[in-house]
Amino acid sequence: MATTVMSSFTFAAARAPSVAPRRRTLVVRAQSKPTGPSFWDALAFSGPAPERINGRLAMVGFVSALAVEAARGGGLLSQAESGTGQAWFLYTAVALSVASLVPLLQGDSAEARSKGAFTADAELWNGRLAMLGLVALAATEYLTGAPFVNV
């Protein structure tokens, strides 16, 4: 009888469902791309956009003003007075502003894309010098009455 009871316990233990190993659940979390500052934060006085955009416009404007002076003989002030010069300035300002703001608002920064000699600081300094160059170009033309590049 003892062997019968013992064998029934053994048989019952063998038939009993074994405890399944604990399964780990897979948790997937969506990682969103880091967002940049809001539109108004980017354009704030101390925001990342104003000096960079003004510097880019000044760099393009300085080189363009000298190129047009050399090609046509008209000075910076006469270029600014003409309707064609104002239209080109408006188109360039809008295109460069949008091209500068879109990556910034998506979370991209100029510092992250800096490589070699083309750093974010170099761009800021070149923009600052171009702004001063435009002012000096306009002041020279105003004081002398003649274009800076005399053809």
Per-residue pLDDT of the chain (151 residues; tens, 9 = 90+): 555 545 555 555 555 556 666 777 766 666 666 677 888 888 888 888 888 999 999 999 999 888 888 888 888 888 888 888 788 889 989 999 998 888 888 888 777 777 788 888 899 999 999 999 999 999 998 999 888 887 5
118 by DSSP, 3-state: which? Answer: strand
Hey, what are 35's tokens? 């967002």
Tell me, what's the pLDDT at 108? 82
128 by DSSP, 3-state: which? Answer: helix
Tell me, what's the pLDDT at 132? 96
pTM for the full predicted model: 0.68
Tell me, what's the pLDDT at 125? 93
Total residues found in the chain within this entry: 151
Alpha-carbon gap, residue 35 to 137, rounded angstroms: 40
Are 35 and 106 in contact by the 8 Å Cβ rule? The answer is: yes
Nearest to 43 by CA among 100, 1, 85, 2: 100
DSSP code at position 45: T
